[in-house]
Amino acid sequence: MKRVLFSSAPRMSYVALGVALLLFSQCAQNERLLPPGDPDNGKISLPDGFEAVVVVDSVGRARHIAVNDNGDIYMKLRGVTSQGGSVALRDSTGDGKADIIKYFGTYKDPRSYGTAMRIHNGYIYFSTTGTVYRNKLIPGQLLPDTTTEAIVIDDYQSRPYGTEHIAKPIAFDNKGHLYVPFGAPGDMCQVENRVPGSPGKFPCPELEIHGGVWQFDANKIGQKQSDGKRYATGIRSLVAMEWNFEDGNLFAIQHGRDDFFRTWPELYSAYQSALLPSEEFFRVTEGLNGGWPYYYFDQVQNKKVLNPEYGGDGKKSDGADTVAMPLIGFPGHFAPNDLLFYKGDQFPARYKNGAFIAFHGSTIRAPYPQAGYFVAFVPFNNGSPSGPWEVFADGFAQLDTIVNVFDAKGRPMGLAEGPDGSLYITESVKGKVWRVMFKGNKETFGEPQLAAMEQRKIRTNVKTPDEIKDNLLKGKQPPGAEAYTRYCASCHLPGGQGDGNRYPPLFGSEWVSGPKARLIKIVLNGMSGPITVRRKPYDGVMPAHAFLSDQQVAEILTYIRTRMNHGGTPISAEEVQTVRSEETSGQSR
C-alpha cells in the first residue's frame, strides 16, 4: 500500500514536469530555429509574443510577395526599372536579413501597377498592367530561368471603356486553374465617368469584359481574356485575392467606389463620403454577383444600398436581395491590397486557417484623417469569419493622424507565408520587408495579448472618426478650399502632392504655375494621355469639370496657384468665362 501511495503521487508530478519540459523544449527549439527580432520590431506594433525582423529596406516600391520552400523571397515592384520589374532576396547567413539582392524581369509591358507575385508548381508567376507572366524556378538557384512565358495577355489599349483598376493579382486553386480579375474601367459605369449627376448605364455594358474575375488554365501560354471563363461578376476592383484550400473557394476583398460627396453632394456629406462605401470581403463562388455598379454595402446600416446613379438615395435597397452580401464590410477606403490564409503551425492555434489582410491605406478621406495602413486578422472557421476583425500589425505609417497619404512612412502591401510559418509583409513606399515570428507561449496566448492590440482601434488611422472633432479643416478653409476638397483632393490629395502613381502633383507643378488659359482648359475639358510633371511621367485620365461654374473654377485655380506656394497670380471668373466661351464657339464651328 505504501508503495502504491508513494508511487502514484509522484507519477502526477512526473507527468506535469514532462509537459512543462516538452513546452520548454518546443519554445527553445523555436527560438533556435528563428532569427532574433529587431529591438523595435522594425517600428511596427504586434501582439505580445510576436517579434519582427526587417529583412530588407528600400529595395523599390514593393507590391506582392512570395516565399519559396527554401526561404528565398520574391517581390514584384510597381513598375519596370532598368534593373528589372522584380527583386529576389536571400538570407544566406540565417540572421533574418537579406544579404543577397538580385533584380530580374524585363518585359515589353513597362506600365505601372505590376502587382502579382505567387509561386505555383515550381514557377514564379507575376504580372504587369497587361500581362501575367511566369518563369521556371531552378532548385538551389535564386534567380529563375530567364525564359519568360506570357500566360494571360490583356490587350488593354484597345479596351473601349478605359483602363482604370487594371492591376492583376492572381490566385490558384488545386485543379490547375488561374484566377485573374479585370477591374472596372471607371468608378460607377456612368454615361460620363466621375461627372457629378451623370446617370449609370443600364444594363451596364462594361460588365461583359470588366468588373469581375476570370478563370484560366494555369499552364497554358498566350491566353487572352476570351480564352478564360467569367467566374464572378459585379466586383469593381480587386487587389486582395486568394484561394482558401481549407474551404475550397476563392476569397477576395473589393475596393469600394469613390467620392460620394463630390459626385452627389445633395445626398452625401463629406463625413459619409469618408466612411462609405464598405470594402466588401466576399467568398467568391462560381457565378457570384457582387452587385457593382448597381449596389454597394453600407457597413453603418449593415445592408446593401442602391447606388445614386441608379436611383438610390443612400437608403433604398430595392432588389439588393439579388446580389451577394459580404462576409464582412470593412470601413470605406481602407484599400485592401493583399489577402493570406495562414496554414502554418508557428503561430498560436487561433491563427490557423484565418485571414490576414494588408490594408494599404486611404487617400480620399479628406477632410477627415486617412485610414487603414495596418495588417488585420480575421479568425475563420468552416469557411466563414468566427469573430470580429482585429488589428494584428500597426505602426507602418510611423504616425497616427495621417492627413495626406504622403505623410505615411510605410503602407502595407503584400503578404506571404514562409516555409517555417513566419509571416512576411511588404510596404510600398520604400520597399521594406518584415518577417513576423512568434516566440511566446502558444498555450497561454489569448485575450491579454489581443486586448493591447484592440486598443489600437482607437487610433485615428483605424477608428471611425467623429464627425465634428476629427474634421481636420473645420474653420480653416480659405476661398476655393471647399470646392478643391470636393472635386480635386480625392486624386491630387488635400495638399496637392498627388498620389505619386496615377495622379500628378499640383504642388510645384509647371502646369499649375504656367499659362492661365491652358490650366483653365484642362479643368473644363479634362485631360488624358502621357504628360510629364516635375520630371516624372504620368499617364492617367482627368475627367472634364465643365459642370463647375466660372466662379468655382476661378476659386479652385486661385487656391492652388496662390496657396500651394506656386507664387502664381489669381484667376478670375471673367477669365474662366472667356476661355469657356472660346471653347464653346470653337466647338460650334
Nearest to 366 by CA among 291, 278, 270: 270
Alpha-carbon gap, residue 467 to 472, rounded angstroms: 10
pLDDT at residue 73 tops 50: yes
pLDDT in tens, 18-43: 444 444 444 444 555 899 999 999 99
Q: Which amino acid makes up residue 582?
A: E
Tell me the sheet residues that pair with 542: 527
Q: Which amino acid makes up residue 169?
A: P
CATH number of 481-588: 1.10.760.10
pLDDT in tens, 290-299: 999 999 999 9
The pLDDT score that the predictor gives to residue 587 is 64
**If you average pLDDT over residues 47-60, what whole number do you get?**
96
**If you average pLDDT over residues 112-121, what whole number do you get?**
89
pLDDT at residue 331 tops 60: yes
Extract the C-alpha cell encoding 407: 505623410
Q: Residue 207 carries which DSSP code?
A: G
Run of H or E including 273: helix 270-275
The pLDDT score that the predictor gives to residue 502 is 77
Q: Residue 570 carries which DSSP code?
A: P
The pLDDT score that the predictor gives to residue 109 is 67
Alpha-carbon gap, residue 289 to 482, rounded angstroms: 37
The pLDDT score that the predictor gives to residue 12 is 44
Cα–Cα separations (whole angstroms), residue 383 to 79, 281, 331, 346, 375: 35, 12, 22, 21, 20
The pLDDT score that the predictor gives to residue 163 is 84
The proportion of the chain whose per-residue pLDDT surpasses 70, expressed as a percent, equals 92
Q: Between these two residues, 82 and 171, which has the higher pLDDT value?
A: 171
pLDDT band at 284 (very low <50, low <70, confident <90, very high): very high
The pLDDT score that the predictor gives to residue 565 is 57
Please state which CATH class domain 41-458 belongs to: mainly beta
pLDDT band at 87 (very low <50, low <70, confident <90, very high): very high
Residues 6+ apart with CB under 8 A from 53: 35, 36, 37, 38, 42, 96, 97, 434, 435, 437
pLDDT band at 489 (very low <50, low <70, confident <90, very high): confident
Q: Which amino acid makes up residue 260?
A: F
Phi and psi (nearest 5°) for 74?
A: -130, 130
| CA quadruple 486, 488, 492, 496: dihedral sign | negative
pTM assigned to the model: 0.85
The pLDDT score that the predictor gives to residue 28 is 47
pLDDT band at 158 (very low <50, low <70, confident <90, very high): confident
Alpha-carbon gap, residue 505 to 556, rounded angstroms: 15
The pLDDT score that the predictor gives to residue 11 is 45
Given phi > 0 = left and psi -120 to 50 = alpha, else beta, which region is 357? beta
Q: Residue 223 carries which DSSP code?
A: B
Alpha-carbon gap, residue 132 to 119, rounded angstroms: 13
Extract the C-alpha cell encoding 7: 508511487
* Residues 210 and 181 sit within 8 Å (Cβ to Cβ): no
The pLDDT score that the predictor gives to residue 21 is 45
**If you average pLDDT over residues 225-229, what whole number do you get?**
97
Worst-scoring range by mean pLDDT, 94-108, 110-124, 255-269, 443-457? 110-124
Extract the C-alpha cell encoding 183: 477591374
Q: How many residues does the chain have?
A: 589
The proportion of the chain whose per-residue pLDDT surpasses 90, expressed as a percent, equals 70
Alpha-carbon gap, residue 502 to 25, rounded angstroms: 52
* Residues 206 and 220 sit within 8 Å (Cβ to Cβ): no
Q: Which amino acid makes up residue 39?
A: P
| CA quadruple 394, 397, 401, 404: dihedral sign | negative
Please identify which residue in the block is written with the cell numbers 486586448: 451
Alpha-carbon gap, residue 512 to 267, rounded angstroms: 32
**If you average pLDDT over residues 217-228, what whole number do you get?**
98
Worst-scoring range by mean pLDDT, 419-428, 430-439, 501-510, 579-588? 579-588
**If you average pLDDT over residues 433-447, what whole number do you get?**
97
**If you average pLDDT over residues 87-91, what whole number do you get?**
97
The pLDDT score that the predictor gives to residue 20 is 46
**If you average pLDDT over residues 223-240, what whole number do you get?**
98
**If you average pLDDT over residues 447-451, what whole number do you get?**
94
Q: Which amino acid makes up residue 9?
A: A
**If you average pLDDT over residues 230-250, what whole number do you get?**
97
pLDDT in tens, 536-557: 888 878 889 999 999 999 999 9
The pLDDT score that the predictor gives to residue 26 is 47
